Amino acid sequence: MTPELTLLAWTLVLAIVQILLPAMLRNRETGLDYNAGARDTASPAPVGKITGRLQRAQRNLFETLPLFAAAVLIAHVAGRNGELTVWGASLYLAARVIYVPLYAAGIPFVRSLAWMVSMAGLVMILVAILAPN
């Protein structure tokens, strides 16, 4: 397996973690009976501050994850992977990992910088794909 595909797999692990974190916090807020039920009624508790931040961080990952996965897979299938794609995928994953605690802690600007670094990693992969032979 190429390093880029390994990094994609670890990004999927991050996605699972980002699904579980707000779900666990939300379960504490609403209780097991509500979460195990059909949720036909309004939630008994408002979404907590950290839970809301983690939910938004999750949505943010899910906005770019399909693009990242597609770029990694295109690079792999087209045989365009190399140093630039490895660095791009590494930057994307590292920045996305750093983004989660920054968002949960409510740290502005640095969180945006982490997002921009992840996007730079994605752009690096696209450059490798689209660059002329």
CATH of the domain at 72: 1.20.120.550
User: Which pLDDT score, from 0 to 100, does residue 107 have?
Assistant: 98
Rounded distance between C-alpha atoms, residue 89 and residue 109, angstroms: 22
Q: What sign does the CA torsion over 111, 23, 64, 11 have? A: positive
The ranges of the chain with pLDDT < 70 are none
User: Which pLDDT score, from 0 to 100, does residue 3 have?
Assistant: 98
Structural domains in the chain (count): 1
Please give the structure tokens belonging to residue 19.
């699904």
Query: For residues 6-17, b (16+ Cβ closer than 10 Å) or e, as one string?
Result: ebbeebeebbee
Please give the structure tokens belonging to residue 6.
């390994």
SS3 23: helix
Domain that holds residue 115: 3-130
**Whole-structure pTM value:** 0.93
User: Which pLDDT score, from 0 to 100, does residue 51 have?
Assistant: 97
Q: CB-side exposure of 123: number of CA atoms within 13 Å?
A: 6
Please give the structure tokens belonging to residue 18.
């980002």
User: Which pLDDT score, from 0 to 100, does residue 36 have?
Assistant: 82
